[in-house]
Amino acid sequence: STILERTLQKGAVCVFQIIQKLYIIVTEVNMENKDIQFHITVKGIVIYEGKTLILKRVRPSSDGLGYWELPGGGLEYGEDPHQALVRELKEETGLDIEIIKPVYTFTAIRPHYQTVGIGFLCIPTNDQVKISFEHTDYKFVDEDELEKTLDPHIFNDIKKTIEEYNQIREYNELKREAN
């Protein structure tokens, strides 16, 4: 494997270990203080043919993040983040996905409630999206439209991942051409 591939694999292992520790901490804190609730959510940066999948909610986000979002949702008891993401993407989009790696985390703090989120880079096995009742529309968009459509907080969280994906894609194309 190449240096780039080994670096990405090491980064994914590190992020996964952090996620495991975070899950343990959140669970322990939740057990100690019943007044504070934690919610762990997962989001997918689903890239197909260089474009990212976004979904339009039925109602705007309660956090003021607008209508458009990345697919994903909350962990159910007993699930790990990968299982939750596969399930959520199947429920919301009908897509089967390949999870490449975890790529970012986010948090939203409200009175007596905190959401901790993990974003994963994913590739769908096809582009046959079937949206759920939670959404009214979907589209695969390039980076420029993504920046115009998503709330800046969401876009800034995923911008580096899209740049990294594009670099890997370019590298793989050059590698194929060289062979």
Q: Residue 50: what are its φ and ψ, rounded to 5°?
A: 80, 0
Closest by CA to 122, choosing from 94, 103, 105, is: 103
pLDDT exceeds cutoff 90 at 12? no
Label residue 167 by pLDDT band (50, 70, 90). confident
Concatenating the DSSP letter of every residue in 67-92 gives: SEE-SEEEPPTT--HHHHHHHHHHHH
Whether residue 121 contacts residue 89, with contact meaning beta carbons closer than 8 Å, is answered with: no
Render pLDDT for 103-159 as a digit per residue (tens, 0 to 9): 999 988 888 888 899 999 999 998 899 999 999 999 999 999 999 999 898 899 899
pTM for this one? Answer: 0.77
Most confident of 1-5, 13-17, 89-93: 89-93
pLDDT exceeds cutoff 70 at 10? no
pLDDT exceeds cutoff 90 at 3? no
160-175 average pLDDT score: 87
Q: Given this model, what pLDDT does residue 164 score?
A: 87
Label residue 166 by pLDDT band (50, 70, 90). confident
Q: Which helix (H) or strand (E) holds 52?
A: strand 51-57
pLDDT exceeds cutoff 70 at 68? yes
Q: Given this model, what pLDDT does residue 168 score?
A: 84
Higher-scoring residue by pLDDT: 37, 14: 37
159/165 Cα distance (integer angstroms): 10
Q: Which helix (H) or strand (E) holds 110?
A: strand 97-110
Q: Given this model, what pLDDT does residue 5 score?
A: 54
